[in-house]
């Protein structure tokens, strides 16, 4: 047994965004053991049930260990990376100097990712004079007591071993310092210190789905950006005979986990990898599925339809595009549909409400957080424009533009998807006439907008070609009866037919 001087170590924990999320999946590590990191540097990308977020490290130092591999789902508050801060600025003045520690480690030992650290008596609150605790938005991690399902075992090189008597800081708290497994060889990943490949979120997702390491792809885009074509070219060059999407086998239960996770059933023996692909349900897709099932079987849905001549609205869209007040802003039919919805809510305020099951009350909202359903590479999300009712038309156009671009880039924050009151889903962009949308949980109504098409229409006693669309309104029949729902939908249609009502009814 030999002794060694233990350098100050800080453990970076999976952050808590404060939106009720209890876990996140590690999508990508941008650092490896031995890399030098600085305060604010992004070290990994994680995906919650709401969005994908890049995590910055809040101090300087050298990476000592990565506790989980990519693709692992980790509970909030669990340490994911250890950083030696002895060579950095060491923000804690009382950082321990040195402590004896056992050097030997059992070769090939495997620790399970389910062994999440528990709070000790010496770690009662974040209020102790510790440093900062990183979170996705701001600082301040709250330890979750939620019991989660067992995690799959982490491979060699990610074993966590606590060394007795070796103090370290767990995002500002004193804990036993974990030491990485003996001289682990880093698995396939970016070269230590290498620059992160430049690529847009959809391209990163494509590469992940196809099993392509972006660091090995030759970039042909401007400024060295990796494009979708570059990823496909890398796949073609590799000439992989098997289906790339099923190369990772997260559903195949490893033998050691059979006893600890009996609920994990093995894949069917008849699974044909050449003709079928199994995609794990997680992240945004899992959250969406749970929300839709909960909404469909909780709120009694009613859907009403109306077909409306929107020719005048389309003419107004073209006129607004030439207005100097909208210079640099995107003006489209959705902008005027959203404004029509807001005016209709002002005329029918009881539509903008929610059902409180616990209190057996109807909560009427005196504000409108307007949700816009958006299809993204990670699945359906519904970010909302806060206090949309108080915005002018140019301000609403600006907010809509920011919401759409942020969603497409995969950068929508969890806070942007909270506290919505009513939603618009524009299925018309896919050429669909209409649909029967399911309510976003916690809301009372959702408006589906169909494709705007040139159709024969009776106008002033003559059949003429007119711009026509179909609107569908689904609402919660517990708090919106047929009369209120019908009046509200009729008002939206009337405004789109005669957009001057945006002024006279405002």
Active-site positions? 477
Helix (H, G, I), strand (E, B) or coil at 103: coil
CA distance 16 to 140: 8
CA distance 430 to 433: 9
CA distance 426 to 373: 7
- Tell me how far the alpha carbon of residue 224 is from its chain's centroid: 26
Alpha helix locations (H) across 297-442? 311-321, 333-347, 393-408
Is residue 384 within 8 Å of 355, Cβ to Cβ? no
| Count of C-beta atoms within a 10 Å radius of residue 195 | 10
223-229 long-range contacts (CB < 8 A, ≥24 apart) are 223/198, 224/198, 225/198, 225/199, 225/200, 226/197, 226/198, 226/199, 227/199, 227/203, 228/202, 228/203
Task: Please tell me the number of Cα atoms within 13 Å of 370 on its side-chain side.
Answer: 25
- State the Cα torsion 85-86-89-90 to the nearest 10°: 70
Helix (H, G, I), strand (E, B) or coil at 428: helix
CA distance 106 to 307: 72
Helix (H, G, I), strand (E, B) or coil at 403: helix
CA distance 153 to 112: 4
346-351 long-range contacts (CB < 8 A, ≥24 apart) are 346/389, 346/505, 346/506, 347/488, 347/491, 347/505, 348/484, 348/487, 348/488, 348/491, 350/479, 350/480, 350/484, 351/422, 351/444, 351/445, 351/475, 351/480, 351/484, 351/485, 351/488
């Amino acid at each position: 047994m030999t002794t060694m001087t233990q350098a100050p170590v800080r453990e970076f924990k999976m952050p808590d965004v404060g939106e009720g999320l209890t876990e996140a999946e590690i999508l990508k590590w941008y650092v490896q053991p031995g890399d030098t990191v600085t305060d604010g540097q992004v070290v990994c990308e994680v995906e919650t049930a709401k969005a994908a977020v890049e995590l910055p490290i809040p101090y300087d130092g050298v990476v000592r260990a990565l506790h989980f591999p990519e693709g692992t789902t980790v509970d909030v508050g669990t340490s994911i990376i250890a950083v030696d801060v002895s060579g950095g600025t060491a923000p804690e003045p009382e950082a321990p100097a040195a402590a004896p520690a056992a050097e030997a480690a059992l070769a090939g030992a495997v620790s399970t990712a389910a062994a999440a650290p528990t709070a000790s008596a010496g770690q009662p609150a974040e209020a102790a004079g510790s440093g900062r605790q990183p979170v996705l938005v701001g600082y301040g991690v709250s330890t979750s007591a939620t019991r989660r399902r067992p995690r799959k075992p982490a491979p060699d090189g990610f074993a966590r071993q606590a060394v007795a008597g070796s103090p370290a800081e767990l995002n500002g708290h004193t804990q036993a310092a974990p030491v990485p497994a003996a001289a682990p060889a880093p698995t396939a990943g970016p070269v230590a210190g290498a620059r992160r490949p430049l690529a847009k979120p959809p391209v990163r997702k494509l590469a992940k789905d196809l099993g392509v390491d972006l660091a090995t792809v030759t970039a042909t885009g401007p400024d060295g950006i990796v494009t979708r074509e570059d990823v496909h070219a890398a796949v073609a060059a590799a000439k992989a005979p098997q289906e790339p999407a099923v190369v990772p086998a997260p559903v195949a239960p490893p033998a050691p986990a059979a006893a600890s996770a009996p609920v994990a059933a093995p894949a069917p023996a008849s699974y044909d990898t050449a003709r079928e692909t199994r995609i794990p349900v997680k992240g945004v897709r899992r959250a969406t599925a749970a929300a839709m099932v909960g909404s469909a079987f909780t709120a009694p849905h009613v859907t009403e339809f109306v077909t409306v001549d929107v020719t005048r609205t389309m003419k107004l869209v073209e006129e607004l595009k030439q207005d100097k007040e909208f210079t640099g802003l995107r003006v489209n039919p959705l902008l005027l549909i959203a404004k029509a919805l807001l005016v209709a809510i002002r005329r029918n305020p009881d539509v903008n409400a929610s059902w409180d099951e616990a209190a057996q009350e109807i909560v009427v909202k005196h504000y409108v957080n307007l949700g816009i359903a958006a299809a993204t590479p990670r699945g359906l999300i519904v970010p909302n424009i806060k206090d949309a009712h108080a915005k002018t038309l140019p301000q609403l156009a600006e907010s809509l533009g920011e919401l759409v671009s942020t969603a497409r880039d995969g950068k929508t924050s969890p806070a942007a998807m909270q506290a919505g009151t009513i939603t618009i889903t524009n299925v018309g962009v896919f050429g669909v006439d209409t649909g029967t949308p399911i309510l976003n949980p916690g809301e009372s109504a959702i408006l589906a907008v169909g494709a705007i098409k040139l159709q024969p229409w009776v106008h002033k006693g003559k059949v003429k070609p007119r711009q026509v669309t179909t609107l569908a309104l689904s609402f919660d029949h517990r708090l919106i009866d047929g009369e209120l729902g019908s009046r509200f939908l009729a008002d939206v249609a009337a405004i789109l037919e005669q957009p001057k009502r945006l002024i006279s009814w405002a």
